[in-house]
């Protein structure tokens, strides 16, 4: 990956995470990219669960402390990776962009691809020193429940969860099953091939076109708690549908926020509703 060969050498962040566990730090301690610093998604890339959802956005000062501990600077590129498909790494990518960092990349295929190619790993815990990055939130748009509902009416709202959760057949985490009225299912698993590597821009553009997504229209994304929805945001940029000047928006509270309000309707079945 060209970003790993950039000068100055990039800051590497390991954000391996799974909704069902085990904790990503266990995988990190068994082996990681040399020089990579572990960042915990549950406690460092999110605030405490509450009315805002299961993974609310972190407070800017707390997030700044996390990034500085990891050695992040504004004039040094950052490369983030997870286990394989980029769905967790995309959360870190989006948060750094939201915080104002201009040079962030996701490692294609994650740790699995790195190991499969026979590249070196390490078990040392690096001490990168204090970084100087200053968090300036607001560089990426965030919407609330009312704005998500409006986006579904006037543009397109994409639900990144697995199809069975979108349809309301199962709901392992949140108070109610179903989806936001008008939302279209865009499961994060569709962004990568079986190897975990990202599909080409042309393939992703065709995929999103099939969902009725067009450049220039209002686009919002959500998932269960605002994590894998970031994979949709990254895929939209990779496909060339959005960019830094015209990004799609994240419904940060996502279904965990929407479903907690009994006055908000929940649609079940395959149709947006």
Which residues are part of the catalytic machinery? 223
Distance CA 252, CA 156 (A): 16
CB environment 26-53: b (16+ within 10 A), e (fewer) = ebbeeebbeebbbbbbbebbbbeeeebb
Contact partners, residue 165, CB within 8 Å, separation at least 6: 171, 172, 177, 224
92, 134, 197 from 34: Cα distances, Å = 19, 25, 21
Both tokens of 18, joined, read: 């799974």
Contact partners, residue 212, CB within 8 Å, separation at least 6: 156, 184
* H/E segment holding residue 95: helix 89-98
> Phi and psi for 198 in degrees, rounded to 5?
-70, 140
Distance CA 15, CA 24 (A): 7
DSSP string, 41-64: HHHHSS---BTTBSSPPPPHHHHH
Both tokens of 209, joined, read: 């076109």
Both tokens of 88, joined, read: 């967790």
């Amino acid at each position: 990956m060209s970003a790993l060969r950039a000068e100055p050498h990039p800051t590497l962040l390991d954000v391996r995470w799974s909704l069902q566990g085990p904790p990503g730090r266990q995988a990190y301690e068994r082996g990681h990219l040399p020089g990579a610093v572990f960042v915990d998604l549950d406690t460092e890339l999110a605030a405490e669960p509450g009315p805002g959802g299961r993974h609310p956005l972190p407070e800017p000062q707390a997030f700044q402390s996390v990034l500085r501990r990891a050695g992040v600077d504004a004039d040094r590129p950052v490369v983030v990776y997870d286990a394989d498909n980029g769905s967790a790494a995309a959360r870190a990518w989006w948060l750094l962009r939201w915080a104002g960092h201009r040079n962030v990349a996701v490692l294609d295929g994650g740790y699995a691809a790195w190991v499969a190619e026979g590249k070196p790993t390490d078990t040392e815990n690096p001490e990168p020193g204090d970084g100087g990055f200053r968090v300036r939130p607001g560089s990426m748009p965030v919407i609330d429940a009312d704005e998500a509902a409006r986006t579904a009416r006037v543009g397109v709202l994409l639900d990144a969860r697995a199809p069975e959760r979108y349809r309301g057949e199962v709901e392992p985490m949140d108070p109610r099953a179903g989806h936001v009225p008008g939302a279209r299912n865009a499961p994060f698993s569709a962004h990568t091939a079986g190897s975990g590597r990202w599909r080409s821009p042309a393939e992703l553009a065709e995929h999103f076109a099939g969902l009725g997504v067009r450049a220039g229209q209002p686009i919002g994304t959500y998932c269960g708690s605002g994590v894998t929805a970031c994979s949709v945001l990254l895929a939209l940029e990779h496909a060339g549908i959005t960019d830094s000047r015209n990004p799609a928006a994240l419904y940060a509270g996502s279904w965990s926020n929407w479903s907690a309000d009994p006055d908000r309707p929940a649609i079940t079945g395959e149709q947006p509703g």
